[in-house]
Structure formats: C-alpha cells, structure tokens
Amino acid sequence: MKDFITEAKKILIGNRKDGYTLPTNNKLYPAQWNWDSGFIALGYSYFNLKFALEEIKTLLRGQWKDGMIPHILFHDLNTNYYPNHSVWACGNKIHSSGITQPPVLAIILKIILDKNKIKDKEISKIKNIIKKIKKYHEWFIKYRDPNNSGLVSILHPWESGYDNSPLWDEPMNKIKVEKNLKYKRGDNKVVNPKYRPLDIDYDRYVTIKNHLRKNKYNPKKLYNKSLFNVVDVGFNSIFLKANKDLIKLLKKFNLKYKDLQKYISHSENKIIKLYDKKKNNFINFDLKNKKKIRIPSITNYFVLFADLKDKKINNKIIKSLKKHNTKGKFFFSSVKPNHYKFEEKRYWRGPIWINCNWIIYQGLKNKDKNFAKKIKKKTIDLVKEKGFHEYYSYKTGEGFGANNFSWTASLFLDLMLER
Ligand code: DGY
C-alpha cells in the first residue's frame, strides 16, 4: 500500500527553501505566502517542530512596522512571478506585497502549542511570536475597522485568499481599469488559463494594486480611499476565531489580553447581523458601494469555525451546509454547483479546496461530530485517490492548478495524524 503520510512529508520538504516553504514545487508561486505558511507550519509540526516554528518566524520577519503581515514575502527576487517585488515596491526587511491575507497564524500556533511541550528555554521565543501576532491583530482592528464596527474589511480580493470568487464580481465590475495598463501575467503560462482567473480580473487586481501603491500603502487613508472595500464573512470568521485563540495563548503565557476581549464580543454580535434569516445564509457587504453580496460561497460557512455562541444559528447553518453539495462523491465545491456563476474548473469559482474543507471540519467538530467525520473521510479519500493538488473538480475529483501543493499535504497530515 502506498504510504501517503511519507509522501505528504516529502512534498513539504521538497518545497522547503531557507526557513520557509513554497506553496508548490512548480513555478506558479515562487515566494512565501501568508496563509499558506500557516497551514504549512501545521503540517511540519507532525514531524519537525523546528521547521514548523521556523516557517512562522520567517513570515514574522517580514512584518511591517505598523503590524501588518504581508500576503507575500519575496525572498527570491529572481523569478517570473507577477506582480513581483519591484512592482509592489514595499516591505520591511524583506521585499513584500502591500496587502495581507486571512490571519490564520494564531489558530495554527495554538494547535501546535496544544500538542507540543515547549522547553523552558524556548518560552521567551514563543512569547515573542505571540506578541508579534498580537500586533498584527491590533493592526486589523485599528486600520481595517477604524470606526469600531466589529468587522474588518479587505481592500483587495487577493487579501481574501479566494481571489476570483464570484463574491467579488459586483464590486470588481465597478472598478475602472487603469488606462494604458501594461503588465505580463506569469501564472497562465504555468497553468492552463482555463483554470486561472480571467485577464479582466487581473486588469482590476493590478489597477487596485497600483492605486494602493500610489497611496504609499498608507493604512490610515486606504480604508476610505481604496477602490475595493468589502466586509467578508469568511475572512471575519477566521479573524474572530484567531482572536479567540490568541486570547488563550496570551493567557497561557501571562501576556495582556483584556483589550482584545472586548473586541471579540463586539465582533460576535456584529457578525450575526450578516445572517439572512429568510435565505438561511450569511451574506457579505460591499462597503465601497453599500451593497449586499449574496453568493453561495463555501467560505460563508467559515462562520462555523468562529464558534458563535448562538447555537440556533449554528444549527440552521449546518442544515444549509448539508444542501451545498454533500450528495455527490466529492465536496465541498467552493461555490454551490447550481448557482449560475459556478465553474467546475476555474480556481475559486467552483473547485474543491482542501483548506476550506479543513476549516469547516474544524468548525463542526464540536457541533456535529458525524458530519465532521464524514468531511474528514471525504477529504482524505479525495487526496488519496487523486493526489496532492491545488484544487479539485467536485464532479470527478480531478486535480487542477499546481501539484505537490504544500497546504494540501500539510492539512492531509493534520487530518491523518491529529489525536
Ligand atoms: C496568485 O498569484 O494567484 C495568488 O493567489 C495571489 O495571491
């Protein structure tokens, strides 16, 4: 029998560079990505704690002075990736992008510390990591929720991690592409363009990016000025969960936590306001254009991960999740298959992503054990049957995008080896 655990470990080691790990071993993503690194650290923690902590420490080395942790760190300047370090033209100590990504670090670090005993002489290093993560969370609260609404905004679709999700279609359609825009995509030379975002999407990604750069990435200005400003349920659920886990870490290591606790209760109350009773789903809000966004994206169910105290809503949402696409052999499709925007093979517009399954599985463990178990089994079986891909068709299980994908390997290890 094939040894999948050894294979998953080999993938991580194969993608590992000096203190960080590439999302894949092909040329698609030749840098360090923020949430990828979080998931990757979790995978390492099952066989090399040193690599796990190093992955996180390297990411934190690129933290900006104001607290932001970039979505990409460009350690290697000599690649064909677009947009690369020279067009972002920013960074602190390490060249980086000027936006962030879903803040999974606190969540991952808590899982790692819960299952590993830390030696006394390591404690001050761990405390340092936690303080930096706290600074990151404070940056979100200060600059991405300046009016203290309880919910944070993303200012670029890339910040969500689900870049070309139909969630962003309406706000993106409003963005006028910059005149005389010149740039060369690299991604669709590495992966079949049918599986990647469209050129018009990239035109707008680049337009927003250029606008951020023109504003010197000034977080004080950009909340109001950015061409894109969306309150996303998935992102806020991850942030809420991360805040809850961060508090536990702060308490455990005798660090200050009170200020953060207030924000958590505030967020918890506000996120519930995004619940649509009639449709029994959570909806997103396009702050820039003052419009509701109603797209049946799997990421709306990340709210289960946030562990809301409202059991009634949790139960209703689980019912709705069971209708997303759980009848077929493979799930969860990133967009509900009967929706007119669904595309079987295109990136975040339909395919299954292992991190989404993992997040929802985590959210269900303490709410619906049987369903959680089913998700775990389906996810493991998909990877075993089809390999360690970036994303998969919900119809056939066929893998697309990059292969030897690091977070697929990492999260597979977690599902297989968790206690
Ligand atoms: C990419 O290059 O496709 C990434 O998702 C952007 O962060």
Instruction: State the Cα–Cα distance between residues 39 and 397, nearest whole angstrom.
Output: 22
- Fill in the amino acid letter for 76: D
C-alpha of residue 367 to centroid of ligand 1, in Å: 33
Residue closest by Cα to atom 4 of ligand 1: 158
The three-point CA angle 106-107-113 to 5° equals: 85
Q: What is the mean pLDDT of the chain?
A: 97
Instruction: State the Cα–Cα distance between residues 320 and 2, nearest whole angstrom.
Output: 36
Which residues are CB-neighbours of 326 under 8 A, at least 6 positions away? 332, 374
pLDDT in tens, 245-290: 999 999 999 999 998 999 999 999 999 999 999 999 999 999 999 9
Structure tokens at 225: 């000025």
Mean pLDDT of the 198-205 span: 98
- Fill in the amino acid letter for 243: N
Q: What is the DSSP letter of 51?
A: H
Domains of the chain: 4-417 (1.50.10.10)
Look at residue 353 and give its three-state secondary structure: coil
**21 has which bridge partners?**
16
Sign of CA dihedral 211, 214, 215, 218: positive
Mean pLDDT of the 234-242 span: 98
Confidence class for position 2, pLDDT limits 50, 70, 90: confident
Mean pLDDT of the 192-200 span: 98
The three-point CA angle 182-186-188 to 5° equals: 110
Look at residue 27 and give its three-state secondary structure: coil
C-alpha of residue 173 to centroid of ligand 1, in Å: 19
Confidence class for position 17, pLDDT limits 50, 70, 90: very high
What pLDDT is recorded for position 167? Answer: 98
Nearest to 328 by CA among 320, 337, 316: 337
Mean pLDDT of the 299-320 span: 98
pLDDT in tens, 116-150: 998 999 999 999 999 999 999 999 999 999 999 99
Ligand 1: atom nearest CA of 205 is 6
C-alpha of residue 163 to centroid of ligand 1, in Å: 7
Q: Does any ligand 1 atom lie closer than 6 A to the CB of residue 158?
A: yes
Q: Does any ligand 1 atom lie closer than 6 A to the CB of residue 163?
A: yes
Pocket test for ligand 1, best of 29, 190, 391 (most atoms within 8 A of CB): 29
C-alpha of residue 187 to centroid of ligand 1, in Å: 8
Q: Judge whether residue 1 has pLDDT over 80.
A: no
Pocket test for ligand 1, best of 35, 163, 185 (most atoms within 8 A of CB): 163
What pLDDT is recorded for position 326? Answer: 87
Ligand 1: atom nearest CA of 158 is 7
C-alpha of residue 49 to centroid of ligand 1, in Å: 28
Instruction: State the Cα–Cα distance between residues 183 and 177, nearest whole angstrom.
Output: 13
Q: How deeply is 265 buried, as exposed, middle or buried, from its count of CB atoms within 10 A (0-12, 13-18, 19+)?
A: exposed
Residues forming the active site: 163, 390
Chain-centroid distance, C-alpha 59? 15
Instruction: State the Cα–Cα distance between residues 119 and 202, nearest whole angstrom.
Output: 47
As a dihedral over the C-alpha atoms of residue 237, residue 243, residue 244, residue 248, rounded to 10 degrees, the angle is 160
pLDDT in tens, 70-124: 999 999 999 999 999 999 999 999 999 999 999 999 999 999 999 999 899 999 9
Q: How deeply is 95 buried, as exposed, middle or buried, from its count of CB atoms within 10 A (0-12, 13-18, 19+)?
A: buried
What pLDDT is recorded for position 401? Answer: 97
Ligand 1: atom nearest CA of 72 is 7
Residue closest by Cα to atom 7 of ligand 1: 158
Mean pLDDT of the 353-380 span: 98
Nearest to 324 by CA among 359, 354, 356, 298: 298
C-alpha of residue 262 to centroid of ligand 1, in Å: 34
Residue closest by Cα to atom 6 of ligand 1: 158
Q: Does any ligand 1 atom lie closer than 6 A to the CB of residue 187?
A: yes
Structure tokens at 325: 């696409």
Chain-centroid distance, C-alpha 122? 28
